[in-house]
Structure formats: structure tokens, C-alpha cells
Structure 1
């Protein structure tokens, strides 16, 4: 009967854990309704005119991708806390209760005679309750828990950098969508009246053709021009709707309604002062979140290698426990116990060595990957900077074209009554073309601002803060000054070495000259002593030769010592 209930229980757990397609379809429908209600319930201000800071603030607050990264960061923080708590020692409390159906007695037998040596006896009761409290600290587990906490802290920083990069990418996307909406909204507002003029122009051209005021070919040519302009102007409406959908989805609202933005930023350029490209590259290498992430990944790998080294050590376990037993046959029913246990698995050592080598190679791989990423970041910054300069030139060109069209349009309007060759149709066409150049100018200005934000994104910063720029410039100058001082110190040291070398060489030349002169004196002296008596001449010559030999030995020792000093200076120069 017990086996039957056990089988039914296990089967129930098994079948209730299985899910079919219908279950997931129903679950998807339920979640779809819930999510749709959550999105629609967000109240969107209908009459508000948004500017760029408002859109960025709302997007950073409501965007669901940012919320996902925020949850990842909170998860990593919880895991960090769990890793820190993993360093606590073990504290186990056990209560063992055992009962037998008969007496736990035993007898003994003699090994020599094979007969029973003692009468049957017992040392344990039929029912025994034992309580044990054990406090243990494993040095290996403590070390692994410490390294796990270090890695968990790195992962918290890693998730924070991922959140920062996601926010930067969101800022760039919102800025791009905002300027799209601003440019298309400006274009729609500019072309609403002009599209009505196109309809009127068609009617006027038909009347002029029927009245034979203009030729049919000219009328057809003018209609083609107006229809082409009308097509290009009508495309801005659809583009405006698409841009509004994109911007509202990034802001976390239901992408169904039109959003109005402030277009004053497209009326006049706000020139942005950008530092030198070398300074921008240095800022990017110090601020780009991807480089921080690779540094943290490398440190996590290094800590993992240290864990592998720790696993090569024996496990030392310190323990203290207290035991209380209800067995009345025990001499002491309560006692303390303390000890040390050591264990070492020797056959795991080769595996740990290979694992450490692999992790060491992996750390080198991440280091090379970091250098590759740094090169890519520098290239991205240069491309973004060049794009910004190019877009600025494009804006200047579009502005010159718009100013020329606008100037000619004003002249045509003023002189339309005086010059008979300027017709109202031509003025209307000139107005449409001027409006088109104004839209191109506004698009170029929006692209200029967007290029600035793209440059900030490539650098890994949110804004060109003056304090940060000044601090970076100060650091760069300090590094340059330090490098210049190092170069000057090496040059002065080199000059001193050269001077000492020249001095030693001059001394060496003087000593050689002295030795040469002494040797010449040695050859001349016997000729000058021919007039002396034979015995005196031999004694003086022998003494002179000894003195000259000692002087030559002293000079040779000095030469050797000076040569050693020259070699030391050369080695010191080579090492520097």
C-alpha cells in the first residue's frame, strides 16, 4: 500500500510538470492582454510640446530595455551579498533519535579457545537521543568564498557599465528619432500651404492652356515640375508619422499617436566647440564602457586562476562541536570536541595545473582583445569627428543655397509687377523650391546636432563637461611634462656618461704616453752609463729596471681598473 501511494505521488509530480502547446498559447494570450493594458495605461501628455531634454529624461525613466539592465544590476548586487555570506563558517545542529525493537546487547568470544569469554551485555539503551552542535571552518572553502565575493563585486561593476552603455545608446537613439521628428514636423508645417498652392497651379495651367496663353508643352513641363515637388513634399508626412512612432516607442509609450516637438533648434545653428581629436581619443580610451567591461572580465579571469591555484592546496578543516546523548551507559553524556582534519586529493593536481594554464592564456586573450577594442574605439572616434566636420560643411552649403533661393524669391516678388517676364506660376514654383531648400537646410542642421551626439556616444560620455575636459587636459599635460623631464634626464645622464668616458679615454691616453716614455728611457739609460765602472753600472741598471717594471705593473693595473669602470658605464647606459 505504501508503494502504491509513493508511485501515485511521483506520477502526479511528473505529469503536473509537463506542459503542452495549448498551455503556452493560453499563457501567451493572458500575458499579451496584461502587457497591452500596462502600455496603454501610461498617460501621454497630448498637448505638450517636447524638447530634447524632456524626451531623454522620459526615455531613461520609462524605457523597458533600461529597466532590464537595472534588474540585471540588482540581481548582481544580490549575488554579491550571497557571495559575501558564503565566507561564514559552518554551524550544524543535528538531533538523532533512534529506537530499537529489542535490546542492543552483545557478547564476546575468545580468540584462543573459541569459547564465550563474557556474558552478554549492553552499552546502549533501546531508545537514544543525541544532540550535536558543530562549528567548522574550512580554509579552502573560505578562500574560494572570498574569491567568489571578489568576482561578484566585479560583476556588479560590469553590470553597472552595461547599464551605462545601454543608457548612452538609448540617448543616441532618442536624439536621432527626435531630430527626425523635428525635421519632418518642420517640413510638414512648411509644406501644408504649398501643397494647396500645387492644386491651384494645376487649375491655372489648364486655364492658360485652354486660353492659349502658354503652349501645351510648357504647361506640361510646368505640371511635371509641380507634381515632382508635390511628391517630395508629401513624403514628409509619412516620414513624420514613422518618426513619431519610433520616438514614442523609445520613450516607453504606446506608439499610436502624434508627438509634437520644439523645432526652434532648427532655425539657427548653435556652433559646438569640439576639442582636438587627440584629446578626444584619450577621453574615449578612459571613458568607453566596453573597455571597462573588458578590464573587469580580465580581472574575473585572473581571480578564477587564483581559485585554481587555491584548489591545488590541501583542505584544512577546523572544527569544534558539542555533543549530548541520552544514553545512560555512557561515562560522560555531554562533551566538547575540537580538532583539525586535512585532506589532499593528489590525482586532481594535474587537472588543476592544466586549468590554471588555460585561464592564464584566457587572461592574455582578454588583454589582446582590449587592445583591439582600444584601436576600434579610436577609429570610431575619428570617423565620428570627421563625420561631424563633414556634416557642418554640408549645412553651410545647404544654408548658402537656401539664402540664394530666398534672396531671389524676395527679388522676384518685389519686381513681379515691373518685369513682365516673371509670371505668378514661376513665383509659385520658386516658392516651392525655396521651401524644399529650407527643409534640406533644417535636415542638415539636425544631422549636425546628431553627429555631435554620435561623437559623444563613440567617446563613451553623456556630455562635453568642461570640468572633465579640463581634468583630462591637465592629466595629458602632466604626462607630457613627465615624459619631457624623463627624456631630459636621460639626455643629461647620457652627457655625463659621455663626459666620463672621454675623461677616462684621455687619462688612458696619458698613461699610455707615460708608459711609452718610460720604456724609451729604459732603452736609453744603458748607453749613458757606459762611462761608469762595470759593477756600479750593473747595480744601477738592475735597480732602474725593477723600478720601471713596478711602475709598468701599477699603470697596467690602473688601466684594467679604468677599463672595468668604462664597461660598467656602458652597461648602465645600455640598461637605461
Structure 2
């Protein structure tokens, strides 16, 4: 009968588990809609409103405070710090408390048998059918403590890695905001002039075709005029297309709604781009010292070294020291509360056999980390040199386009002051006006490229202008701090490497 009851219980349990099978549950449309509306309401909440014209430093400050990529890395750093606290707690001994009730249907009667097989005692019991039990146990395993200690050290390095990854995002934000802001500034100042000039150019092109059809001027001269005008019109349209997306990009970087009308603090005159008068060798050394990826790999190497010691520690015998206070309501016990203590050691012999393999694997991880850091160092040097050459090229292009803009502006002024008012002179005036605007746009675009190249250099070096905490400061204060730091960079006052006694900085590019 008992076996039938047990079989029936097993069948009922199996049927219950089958009924509890998990099936895929797609998110409903209402849930997606609710999530979408919640995200839209929270994406731009808890931000300072944009007041007045926005400078570049205001834009960068807003990007550092509100850009979600940056905020994500900051949250990841906080998460790693929280996990460090957990890893530190794991080093503590184990302290557990247990309490419960034990009961049985029949009394626990038993009898004894001597060596000859004779029953020596009558059936008796020393345990109540129902009793309460509790204990408070303290256990400390020296091997577990050592492993937890090394794990906590590794987690501390992961906290620093998270900070370096935040710095990398900051570097990329500087580069992207530099380019987007100055492109948006150009768009603000020159797009209003671009539309009427394009309309005039289209009319001039149509008029030149009429002159060509009527054979009013030499055909070759008219066709050359059309070719020149078409090239300028195509150039203007491409520049207009590039400039039109600058403000949406900037709005995305500073986490402003796309419908926001961004008013920029445009200067009265186009500022001259800063000239970075720093030797490439100094930039290389700065990059090898400050680059976030290289510093991250140094921490990864340290984690690998710690992992080697942690794995070898597991080979050693473990010593456990248990200590507990126990309580039992069994009425047959003379002492219902008692203290237990002891010591126990364990030794996994398989780990001892595998120790050479474990050590070799750990050493290989260290070498991989070293090699990866060296490979990233070479990549950093290449990026710094390429970025510097791009900066020089952008600066040279700006100077050339500035001279060309002066020439085209002079031609437009001369043509506009001409006394002739015939159709040919009007075509020449429109052509000159279009060329002058195209040259000015090209000059301004070259200025944007200079700042973009500077941003590439700063990013390839790994400089971070946001010193200190940015969470508890407002946009205006952070903007002023960024302006002070970056103004020194523009003047060539980059951070200096710390001096080490009896050590000479090595220029790797010279080897």
C-alpha cells in the first residue's frame, strides 16, 4: 500500500511539473507602446534647459553630463564599484543561522545486538517524536579567504578599467562635438546666404542657355561659363547637404530633442584656428602615457597576474575552522545547548597533478596581455602620426582656402562695381558672387576640418579635460572648467609626463 501511495504521489508531481512548463511570451504591443512613451518622457528629463546662445564649451559640457553613451559608462563604473564591495564582503568568514522543527509519525525505538548476534537491550528510544533544533555556525576556510582576496584585487582593477573606458568615451565626445559644433556654426552663418545665391545661379544658368541657343555670344565661351557655374553649383549643393545635418548631429550628442532650435554663440568674425606647436615625439609619449586603451591593458595584465596566483592557491590544501552553537529541544538530552569546535583540512590531489598546466596557462594569459598592449601601442603611435599629418593638411588647406576666398571676394567686388549693366555683365556678376560664396564656404569647412583634426589628436593621445566630478556641477560651471583646460591645449600647454629618477623617456618612433 505504501508503494502505491508513493507511486501516486510521483505521478501527481510529474503532472504538476508538466503543467508548469515555460512557454515563450512575446512582449505585447501595449507593453512596447508604454515602454516607448516612458522612454520618450525620460530621455530628456532631469536636464538643465538651454538658455541663451550656446558656446562650444557649453555644448561639450552638456554632452558630458547628458549624453547617454557617457552616462552608461559612468553607471558601469558605479556597478563595478558596487561589485567590489560585494567581493570585499566575500572575504569574510561564513556565519549562518539555522532553525527548524523535526517530527516523525512513530516513536524512534531501537534495540542493540552483541558480537555473538544476541539482542542485548530491550527496545528503547532517546529522541522525542517532535523537537525543535537551531544552530549558529561560524566557519572560516583559509583557502577560500585567499581566493576571495585575489578576486577582490581583480575586481578593484576592473573598477579602474571602467574609469578608463569612461575616459575613452570622453575623448570621442570631444572629437565629435568639435566637428559637429563648428559645422553647425558654419551652417548658421552661411546657409541663409546660400539659398538666394543658388537661385541666382540657376537663373544665370538658364539665361546662359538662352544666349547659347540664340548665338548671342561665342559658343565656346558660353559653354565654358556653364561648365564653371555647374561645378560651383554642385559644390554648393554638397556643402549645403553636409551643413544641413550638423545641427541634428549636435543635438544628438548633447541629448537635446531633435525639435529643439539650437542657437549658437557665433563669433562676429571667423576665429583663426589654433596652431598646435608641439613636436610629434612629445605627442607620441603623451599618447603612450595617457591613452585609455593602453592603461586598460595594463590593468588587464595585472588581473592576469593575480589570476595566476589565485589558480596556484587552489592547489594548496584548505583548512576549515568551524565553530557553532547548537540547541535541541529533545527532552532526553542532558544538555540541550552546547558548543562545537573543530578543524578540518582538504587536499585536492587532482589539482596538484594539474598545477604545472594551470601555471603555464596563467603565464600565457600574462604574455597575451603584454602582447596586446604592445600591439595597441603601435596602433596608438600610428593614429597620433596620422592625426598630426591630417591636422597639418587641414591647416594648410584652411590657409589656401582663405587666400582663395580673398581673391574671389575681390573679383566679386570688382565685378559688382562695374558700370556695365548688360546681360553678359550680370552673368559675370552672378558667377563671381557664386564663386565668392563657394570659396567662403570652403574656407569655413576647412576651419571645421582643422578642429576635427585637433579632436582626433586629443582623442588619439587620450587627454581628458573634465577634471573632477561632473555629476554635482551645473553646465555653466563645467563649461568654464572645460574652457580653461582646452584653452591651454590650444596654446600648446599639454600635460607633462611625470619625471622619474634615473629614467629617460623613450621615443619609440625613432627605433
1:129-528 matches, cutoff 5 A: 129-198=132-201, 201=204, 214=217, 218-219=221-222, 221-223=224-226, 225-256=228-259, 259-264=262-267, 267-414=270-417, 416-417=418-419, 423-463=425-465, 472=496, 475=499, 479-480=503-504
Equivalent residues of 2:190, 2:441 under 8 A apart:
yes
1:54 is matched with 58
**Change beyond 3 A, Cα 1:5–1:356:** same
2:17 pairs with 10, 19, 25, which one? 10
Give the match for residue 127 of structure 2.
124
Aligned partner of 2:107 in structure 1 is 103
Q: 1:397 to 1:214 in 2, by over 3 A?
A: same
Cα distance in 2 for residues equivalent to 1:26 and 1:13: 26
Alpha-carbon contact 1:110-1:116 (below 8 Å) kept: yes
CA spacing shift, 1:433–1:82, aligned 2, 3 Å: same
Describe the shift of the 1:144–1:421 C-alpha distance in structure 2 as closer, same or farther (beyond 3 A).
Answer: same
- Report the number of matched residues: 477
Question: Given that residues 415 and 428 in structure 2 are in contact (C-alpha distance below 8 angstroms), is that contact kept between their aligned partners in structure 1?
Answer: no
What does the per-residue CA deviation read over 1:378-401, in whole Å, with 9 as the maximum and x for residues that have no partner?
A: 121111112111211111111121
Q: 1:252 to 1:422 in 2, by over 3 A?
A: same
103-112 vs 279-288, which deviates more? 103-112
Contact 2:290 2:462 in 1 (8 A): yes
| Structure 2 counterpart SS, 1:135 | strand
8 Å Cα contact 2:94/2:138 also seen in 1: yes
CA distance 1:148–1:385, shift in 2 (3 Å) = same
Give the C-alpha shift of residue 221 in structure 1.
Answer: 5.0
Match of 1:19 among 24, 37, 42: 24
**Match of 2:89?**
85
Q: Deviations over 1:171-215 (max 9, x none)?
A: 212222223323344441332332343355467658878998645
The structure-2 alpha-carbon separation of the partners of 1:222 and 1:313, relative to structure 1 and needing over 3 Å to count, comes to same
Structure number with greater CO (CA < 8 Å, separation at least 6) is 2
SS of the residue aligned with 1:454? helix
Using the TM superposition, give the Cα deviation of residue 300 of structure 1 relative to its aligned residue in structure 2, in angstroms: 1.1
* Kept after mapping to 2: 8 A contact 1:64/1:252: yes
- Structure 1 unaligned regions, length at least 5: 483-576
* Distance change (3 Å), C-alpha of 1:406 and 1:194: same
Q: Cα distance, 1:320 vs. partner?
A: 1.4
| Greater Cα shift, 169-178 or 135-144 | 169-178
Distance 1:474 1:315, change over 3 A: closer
1:93 to 1:265, Cα distance in 2 relative to 1, 3 A: farther
User: Offset of 1:134 from its aligned partner?
Assistant: 1.4
Larger Rg: 1
Single out whichever of 72-81 and 218-227 deviates more from structure 2.
218-227
Task: Give the SS at the match of 1:475.
Answer: coil
Contact between 1:412 and 1:422, CA under 8 Å: does it hold in 2?
Answer: no
| 1:337-395 Cα shifts (integer Å, max 9, x gaps) | 21111111112222343122101111011111111211221121111112111211111
Cα displacement (A) at 1:236: 3.5
- CA distance in 2 between counterparts of 1:97 and 1:45 reads 62
How far residue 263 of structure 1 moved from its aligned partner, in angstroms, is 4.1
Question: In 2, are the aligned partners of 1:79 and 1:152 still within 8 Å (CA)?
Answer: yes
Secondary structure at 1:91 match in 2: strand
**Following the alignment from structure 2 to structure 1, what is the Cα–Cα distance between the partners of residues 237 and 305?**
60
Using the TM superposition, name which of 203-212 and 459-468 deviates more. 203-212
Structure 1 vs Structure 2 CA RMSD = 3.5
Task: Give per-residue Cα distances to partners, 1:105-134, cap 9 Å, x unaligned.
Answer: 32223323x433333333223333332221
In the TM superposition, what is the alpha-carbon distance from 1:137 to its structure 2 partner? 0.7
- Cα distance, 1:81–1:380 mapped onto 2, change above 3 Å: same
Q: CA contact under 8 A between 2:391 and 2:454: conserved in structure 1?
A: yes
Q: Distance in 2 between matches of 1:209 and 1:381?
A: 53
Matched-pair contact (CA < 8 Å) for 2:191–2:240:
yes
Q: CA deviation at 1:245?
A: 2.3
Whether the aligned pair in 2 keeps the contact of 1:245 and 1:257 (CA below 8 Å) is no
Q: Is the 8 A contact 1:187 1:439 kept in 2?
A: yes
Shift of 1:471: 6.0
Q: CA deviation at 1:163?
A: 1.3
